[in-house]
Amino acid sequence: MSLLPPLKPTVEAALRDVHAKGRDFRLAAAVALGDAPDSKKDDARRGLLKLVQDSDPLVRRAALRSLGAYPGPDLLIDA
């Protein structure tokens, strides 16, 4: 057991962790991808769009919150 909290993953690691088996990795990825540099924003957005379909509600919520940094017409919900 570690006494230190895990470090925030890099954007590259977060993009890999979109498909991780462990929920904590996917959750950290959802948070990290919300703060991607301009050169990685498109990749981050694609990763977050996958994470909003995650089976875990905490991961989905984190991905939706992070997607707020990347607005686009495909995020509009037709009610």
47-59 residue pLDDT tens: 999 999 999 999 9
Spans of the chain, pLDDT less than 50: none
Angstrom distance (rounded) from CA 66 to CA 62: 6
pTM metric for this prediction:
0.85
- Looking at every residue in the chain, the average pLDDT score rounds to 89
Report pLDDT for 71.
78
Report pLDDT for 27.
96
51 near 30, Cβ under 8 Å? yes
Report pLDDT for 55.
96
